[in-house]
Amino acid sequence: MVDPAPEGETLAEIARRTGRPLTTVRNTWTRHPHFPDPIDKRGRWNVYEPIAIDGFIRDHIDRQAVQLEPDRLYTAQHLEAAGIGIRAGTIRADLTRGRWPQPDDTTDGVNRWYGRTAAKALEKRRGYRRSRER
């Protein structure tokens, strides 16, 4: 008698379902301290509980869209403090590399972006969920 295949999904199936490269799932996600433990094996592959994987992605991979006031000016420090998931230093580095929009205001030599400008830039970054328009 042949044992039925265990329920769950392999890393390859997780990658396919989530639209992420297998190398990202295998080499990055599985090394995260909160990545779920396997529930079984299918051949030589570990099998994971899909609900646990979805929870892990929600809590540790996908960044939640932060509501920024569209007409307020934010410095890089303000954006970091607002919880956008990017450090002020990363914003400055990305600005230098052309991966972050030019500031909307540079009064007193301080770079500031309107909330709508920062929100638009964040939507283009991988891993951010788009906020629903109200």
Could you read off the pLDDT of 78-88 as tens digits, one per residue?
999 998 878 99
What's the chain's average pLDDT?
87
So what's the pLDDT on residue 78? 95
**In which element (H, E) is residue 41 found?**
strand 40-42
> pLDDT confidence of 64, banded at 50, 70, 90?
low
Instruction: Kindly state the percentage of the chain with pLDDT values over 70.
Output: 87
Q: CB of 51 within 8 A of CB of 9?
A: no
pLDDT score of 100 more than 80: yes
Segment 90-113 shows an average pLDDT of 95
So what's the pLDDT on residue 133? 37
In angstroms, the CA 107 to CA 121 distance is: 21
pLDDT score of 130 more than 60: no
